[in-house]
């Protein structure tokens, strides 16, 4: 019997520790399971948090990327908050340019005192962050969500504020409040800090980009030659570039006030109704282009068009309007010059042609007997008229070729002496008729042969010599001098210039390579300073000071001469003294 | 009684010598004597010295041009009052009305009219004048 007892005691002794061990094991597993559960929950919470963070950031990224609106950003954040944080109320306070705004969303009903305390704490937070004080009565308040029930006596238990910083400045504060105490842990606050941090980064970067683009646009508009003015819908000046300030002759006043719309209205006065046109364009959305408008000495074409941008929600928002002043003064001048040229040609051709027509009319009418002296005289007149018309047409042709750069210079090896002497004998008759002496002189250093287009040079000599004869009174003299010009050296000493006070000097001959130089000097009436300036450039008639019988002329001859000389790579020039004489000269590089 | 065979003096002030020559040839022989001046200045001188019955005036001339000549005539009290027929190639309506406002009795566009019609205009003007006298 003792053995049995002993055996059962022994079994017990084994069983109890085993049993105890089991219990311990069970507890241990239970405990670790619980622990793991806790960890899993924690992980789940963590991943929820992460997910929330990612979702918010993604949404933020999409929406903030296009918006600089602080309110919008705060709304996005607060809107998604309840998926993650438990709160009684959430709100934000935002600094708008005009006012401070508080927007609060109540999740569960609260009393007015709850809201007012929340508001005070939001303002306090903002004041502390911005170092400014705010008048709580001057703040716009919006409340949404559950109704306000004053009977609910619960006040704020937990609250935390998170600032939204953009570009280094506090733009607003996000606030979360709950009636329960001690609810908000560090993790909750951390994630919100992260979110608002990211948002502010994104917005700051966007603002930088906008500033840069603005800067580019400004630089472009600033450098434009056309005057640009942009106003907003309230007619405040948004952009006014230096060009347009110059047009209205605006000077920055001592007090540094920049230009305003009335400066434009006043400056443009009766010439252009800028206010009226802007109104029209903004209303009708059709751009307006003016005819030429004269302001002081300049002419402008003015364009006005509205500026709008299409909104995401659809439709257009008018931002204002732009006025552009395009300077067309040069174009008008060109037009005028062309018109003058055309009317000059028409007149110069019409008269001789009419003369021919009338002469023929006479001959047809039979009032002149054939082969009579009168008849021959009229035939000569008709011949002369037609010849001068052809000459003019040839001149015009040469002129337009020179203008277009298509004038052909056919250089040949020619003896200038031959050409000069040929011309002298040709013009001897005209010179004799006015009792003028017409001579040539060749310096010892004048070249024997030089290269140039003989026809073209003959044309120049024709023009110079005929002018000299035309503008020299009876008994005067004309001299053709030929020599080699070497830059840096004085003119040859053997030039027979005794009678000719007016003669080119080295300073007048503006060529820097050795060249053949031909000068036609006269003791004529000379040319006034003002006329001298225009000589080779325009084709206006040079008005004469004293009597002359052949003062018609297009003046094209000199312009063409210049073109020919320059086509040879040479220079043309003139020196003259009124009442004493002139000397026209040209050089051709050797 | 006024003799209708009295030769009328016509002063042509024009720098285009062909015009005055052809006009002279076109005018009926024996009725008119033609004088010419190549610009407004010489024209004024001849106006005073010759006292013509009619002036045929071109507008585009050097020194004193036609418009200036007309102005002088209009403003002066001493210059003889002679009818002025303007003959020019300028055809702008403004020019024509300006000239007529300055006292010209007529405006002829040279290149548009034949010598015959110009002669008719001359005869008409002189004929009217004759009636006025």
Which residue among A358, A362, A543 sits closest to B62, beta carbon to beta carbon? Answer: A543
Burial grade of B93 (CB within 10 A; 0-12, 13-18, 19 or more): exposed
Q: In this model, does residue A252 exceed pLDDT 80?
A: no
Looking at every residue in chain B, the average pLDDT score rounds to 84
Identify the sign of the CA torsion A471, A475, A476, A480: positive
Share of chain A above pLDDT 90, in %: 17
Residues A519 and A496 in one domain: yes
Q: How far B16 CA lies from chain A's nearest CA (Å)?
A: 8
Same domain, A371 and A307: yes
Strand partners, A522: A478, A582
For residue A80, count other CB atoms closer than 10 A to its CB. 16
Q: Given this model, what pLDDT does residue A362 score?
A: 86
- Across A82-91, A151-160, A310-319, A551-560, least confident range: A551-560
The enclosing domain of A109 has a CATH number of 3.30.450.40
Do A454 and A305 sit in the same domain of this protein?
A: no
Q: Worst-scoring range by mean pLDDT, A461-475, A516-530, A532-546, B107-121?
A: A532-546
User: pLDDT of A210-243, one tens digit each?
Assistant: 888 888 888 888 888 899 999 988 888 888 888 8
A201 and A251 in a single domain? The answer is no
A150, A112 in Cβ contact below 8 A? Answer: yes
Average pLDDT over chain A, rounded to whole? Answer: 83
Q: Is the pLDDT of residue A547 over 50?
A: no
State the pLDDT at residue A373: 85
B66 contacts in chain A (CB < 8 Å): none
B80 touches chain A (CB under 8 A): no
Q: Is A520 left (phi over 0), alpha (psi -120 to 50) or beta?
A: beta
Which candidate, B68, B127, B60, places its Cα nearest to that of B92?
B60
pLDDT score, position A542: 44
**Contact between B60 and B90 (Cβ < 8 Å):** yes
> Dihedral sign, CA of A242, A245, A250, A255?
negative
Q: Which residues contact A235 (CB under 8 A, 6 or more apart)?
A: A261, A275, A278
Task: Please report, for the domain that includes residue A433, its CATH number.
Answer: 3.30.565.10
Q: With a cut of 50, say whether residue B2 has pLDDT above it.
A: no
Contact assessment for residue A472 and residue A450, using Cβ atoms and an 8 Å cutoff: no
pLDDT at A400: 84
Sign (positive/negative) of CA torsion A117, A120, A126, A131?
Answer: negative
Q: What is the distance in angstroms between the Cα of B12 and the nearest Cα belonging to chain A?
A: 15
What is the rounded CA–CA span in Å between residue A504 and residue A120?
95
pLDDT digits (tens, 9 = 90+) for A94-121: 887 767 888 888 888 888 888 888 888 8
Q: Is the pLDDT of residue A548 over 60?
A: no
Residue A540 binned pLDDT confidence (cut-offs 50, 70, 90): low
| Confidence check: pLDDT of A569 > 80 | yes
Domain finish residue from A193, A212, A231:
A212
Predicted TM-score (pTM) of this structure: 0.56
Whether residue A581 sits in one domain with residue A487: yes
Do A350 and A432 sit in the same domain of this protein? no
User: CB distance B114–A543 less than 8 Å?
Assistant: no
* Nearest alpha carbon to residue A349 among A378, A388, A379: A388
pLDDT of residue A451: 92
| Tokens 């094991």, located at residue | A25
Q: Do B18 and A359 touch (CB under 8 A)?
A: yes
Question: A311 and A276, same structural domain?
Answer: yes
Cβ-based burial of A486 (10 A; exposed 0-12, middle 13-18, buried ≥19): middle
Contact A100, A93 (CB under 8 A): yes
ipTM: 0.81
Q: How far apart are alpha carbons A249 and A122 in whole angstroms?
A: 52
Judging contacts by C-beta atoms under 8 Å, the chain A residues touching residue B15 are 551-552
A347 and B CB contact within 8 Å: yes
Residue A349 lies in a domain: yes
The first and second tokens of residue A229, run together, are 């003015």
Cβ-based contacts under 8 A for chains A and B: 60
pLDDT at residue B131 in the model: 59
| Over residues A287-309, mean pLDDT | 88
Mean pLDDT of B35-54: 88
3-state secondary structure A87-140: CCEEEEEEECCCCEEEEEEECCCECHHHHHHHHHHHHHHHHHHHCCCCCHHHEE
State the virtual CA torsion across A115, A117, A122, A123 in degrees, nearest 10: 110
Residues of chain B contacting residue A352, judged by C-beta atoms under 8 Å apart: 18
Residues A104 and A193 in one domain: yes
Mean pLDDT of B48-54: 89
CA distance from start to end of chain B: 12
Which pLDDT score is estimated for A154? 81
In a domain, A63, yes or no: no
Of A379, A406, A433, which marks where a domain is finished? A406
Q: What is the pLDDT of residues A126-163, one digit of tens each?
A: 888 888 888 777 788 888 888 888 887 888 888 888 88
Q: Nearest CA to CA, how far is A333 from chain B (Å)?
A: 22
Domain shared by A416 and A560, yes or no: yes
Query: Is residue A574 domain-resident?
Result: yes
The CA distance from A78 to A122, in Å, is 15
Position A387 scores a pLDDT of 87
Per-residue confidence (pLDDT) for residue A479, from 0 to 100: 93
Evaluate whether residue A21 is within a structural domain.
Answer: no
The C-alpha atoms of residue A360 and residue A354 are separated, in whole angstroms, by 10
Higher pLDDT, A186 or A4: A186
Whose CA is closest to A565, among A465, A471, A464, A478? A464
Same domain, A279 and A162: no
A195-209, A263-277, A547-561: least confidently modelled range: A547-561
Question: What are the φ/ψ torsions at residue A462 (nearest 5 degrees)?
Answer: -55, -50
In a domain, A218, yes or no: no
Measured distance CA(A85)–CA(A110) in Å, rounded: 18
**Out of A48-62, A395-409, A424-438, which region has the weakest mean confidence (pLDDT)?**
A48-62
pLDDT higher than threshold 50 for residue A552: no
Position A15 pLDDT exceeds 90: no
Strand partners, A506: none
End-to-end CA, chain A:
155
Number of residues that make up chain A = 590
CA B61 vs CA A343, A541, A548: distances in Å: 16, 11, 12
Q: Is B48 an interface residue toward A (CB < 8 Å)? A: no
- Do A118 and A177 meet the contact criterion of CB atoms below 8 Å apart? yes
Report how many domains make up chain A.
Answer: 3
SS3 A539: coil
Q: Where on the phi/psi map is residue B72: left (φ > 0), alpha (ψ -120 to 50), or beta?
A: alpha
Q: Residues B21-42: what's their mean pLDDT?
A: 87
A204 CB-near residues (< 8 Å, 6+ apart): A166, A167, A168
Cα A243 versus chain centre, distance: 9
Q: What is the largest CA-CA distance in chain A?
A: 191
Among A23-27, A95-99, A284-288, B100-104, the minimum mean pLDDT is found in: A95-99
* Res A256 pLDDT > 70: no
Q: What are phi and psi of A518, to 5 degrees?
A: -125, 125
* Widest CA span in chain B: 43
Please give the residue of chain A at the shortest CA–CA distance from B18. Answer: A355
Cα–Cα distance, A342 to A414 (Å, whole number): 37
Share of chain A above pLDDT 70, in %: 93
Residue A539 in this model has a pLDDT that exceeds 70: no
Q: Which of A350, A376, A406 is the last residue of a domain?
A: A406
- Minimum CA–CA partner of B109 in chain A: A354
pLDDT in tens, A343-373: 878 878 888 898 899 888 888 888 777 778 8
Show residues of chain B in contact with A549, CB under 8 Å. Answer: 38
Which residues have C-beta within 8 Å of that of residue A318, sequence separation ≥ 6? A233, A282, A285, A306, A307, A308
Mean pLDDT to the nearest integer, B11-34: 87
Long-range contacts of A536-545 (CB under 8 A, 24+ apart): A536/A561, A536/A562, A536/A572, A536/A574, A539/A341, A539/A344, A539/A399, A540/A340, A540/A344, A541/B62, A543/B62, A544/A471, A544/B62, A544/B63, A545/A578
Q: Is residue A152 part of a domain?
A: yes
Same structural domain, A436 and A577: yes
> Is the residue at A62 inside a domain?
no
- Residue B110 and residue B66: Cα distance in Å, rounded? 14
Closest Cα in chain A to B112: A354
* Yes or no, beta carbons of B60 and A347 under 8 Å apart: yes
The answer to whether residue A235 sits within a structural domain is no
- Within this chain, do residues A527 and A556 fall inside the same structural domain, yes or no? yes
Q: Pick the range with the lowest mean pLDDT from A122-131, A236-245, A287-296, A535-544.
A: A535-544
Q: What is the span of the domain harbouring residue A489?
A: 409-589
Task: Select from A241, A204, A199, A247 the least CA-distant residue to A221.
Answer: A241
Structure tokens at A33: 């399971």
Which CATH number covers residue A260?
Answer: 1.10.287.130
């Amino acid at each position: 019997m003792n053995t049995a007892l002993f055996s059962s005691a022994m079994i017990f002794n084994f069983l109890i520790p085993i049993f105890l061990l089991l219990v311990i094991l069970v507890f241990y597993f239970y405990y670790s399971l619980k622990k793991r559960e806790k960890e899993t929950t924690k992980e789940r919470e963590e991943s929820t948090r992460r997910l929330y963070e990612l979702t918010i950031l993604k949404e933020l990224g999409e929406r903030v990327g296009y918006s600089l609106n602080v309110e919008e950003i705060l709304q996005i954040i607060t809107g998604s908050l309840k998926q993650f944080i438990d709160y009684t109320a959430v709100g934000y306070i935002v600094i708008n340019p005009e006012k401070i705004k508080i927007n609060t969303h109540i999740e569960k009903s609260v009393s007015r005192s709850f809201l007012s305390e929340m508001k005070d704490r939001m303002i306090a937070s903002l004041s502390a962050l911005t170092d400014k004080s705010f008048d709580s009565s001057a703040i716009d308040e919006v409340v949404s969500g559950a109704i306000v029930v004053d009977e609910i006596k619960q006040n704020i238990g937990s609250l935390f504020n998170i600032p939204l910083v953009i570009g280094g400045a506090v733009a607003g504060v996000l606030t979360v409040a709950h009636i329960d105490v001690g609810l908000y842990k560090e993790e909750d606050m951390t994630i919100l800090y992260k979110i608002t941090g990211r948002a502010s980064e994104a917005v700051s970067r966007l603002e930088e980009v906008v500033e840069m683009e603005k800067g580019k646009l400004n630089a472009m508009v600033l450098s434009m030659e056309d005057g640009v003015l942009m106003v907003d819908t309230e007619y405040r000046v948004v952009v006014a570039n230096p060009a347009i300030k110059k047009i209205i002759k605006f000077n920055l006043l001592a007090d540094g006030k920049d230009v305003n719309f009335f400066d434009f209205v006043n400056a443009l006065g009766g010439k252009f109704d800028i206010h009226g046109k802007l109104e029209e364009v903004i209303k009708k959305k059709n751009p307006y282009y003016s005819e030429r408008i004269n302001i002081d000495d300049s002419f402008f074409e003015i364009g006005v068009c509205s500026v709008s941008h299409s909104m995401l929600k659809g439709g257009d928002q008018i931002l204002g309007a732009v006025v552009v002043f395009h300077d067309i003064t040069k174009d008008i001048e060109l037009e005028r010059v062309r018109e003058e040229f055309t009317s000059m040609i028409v007149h110069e051709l019409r008269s001789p042609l009419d003369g021919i027509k009338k002469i023929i009319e006479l001959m047809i009418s039979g009032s002149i007997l054939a082969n009579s002296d009168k008849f021959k005289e009229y035939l000569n007149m008709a011949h002369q008229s037609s010849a001068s018309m052809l000459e003019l047409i040839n001149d015009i042709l040469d002129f337009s070729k020179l203008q277009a750069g298509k004038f052909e210079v056919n250089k040949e090896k020619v003896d200038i002496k031959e050409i000069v002497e040929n011309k002298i004998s040709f013009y001897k008759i005209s010179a004799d008729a006015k009792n003028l002496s017409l001579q040539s002189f060749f310096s010892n250093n004048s070249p024997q042969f030089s290269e140039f287009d003989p026809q073209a040079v003959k044309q120049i000599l024709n023009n110079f010599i005929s002018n000299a004869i035309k503008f020299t009174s009876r008994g005067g003299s004309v001299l053709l001098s030929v020599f080699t010009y070497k830059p840096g050296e004085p003119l040859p000493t053997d030039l027979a210039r005794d009678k000719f006070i007016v003669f080119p000097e080295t300073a007048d001959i503006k060529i820097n390579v050795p060249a053949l130089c031909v000068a036609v000097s006269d003791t004529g009436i000379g040319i006034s300073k003002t006329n001298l300036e225009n000589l080779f450039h325009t084709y206006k008639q040079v008005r004469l000071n004293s009597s002359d019988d052949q003062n018609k002329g297009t003046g094209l001859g000199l312009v063409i001469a210049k073109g020919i000389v320059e086509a040879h790579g040479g220079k043309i020039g003139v020196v003259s003294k009124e009442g004493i004489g002139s000397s026209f000269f040209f050089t051709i590089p050797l | 009684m006024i003799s209708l065979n009295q030769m009328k003096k016509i002063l042509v002030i024009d720098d285009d010598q062909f015009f005055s020559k052809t006009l002279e040839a076109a005018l009926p022989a024996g009725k008119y004597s033609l004088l010419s001046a190549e610009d407004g200045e010489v024209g004024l001188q001849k106006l005073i010295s010759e006292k013509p019955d009619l002036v045929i005036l071109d507008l585009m001339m050097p020194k004193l041009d036609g418009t200036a000549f007309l102005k002088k005539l209009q403003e002066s009290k001493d210059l003889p009052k002679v009818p002025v027929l303007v003959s020019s190639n300028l055809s702008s309506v403004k020019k024509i009305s300006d000239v007529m406002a300055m006292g010209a009795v007529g405006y002829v566009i040279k290149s548009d009219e034949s010598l015959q019609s110009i002669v008719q205009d001359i005869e008409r003007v002189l004929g009217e004048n004759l009636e006025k006298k």
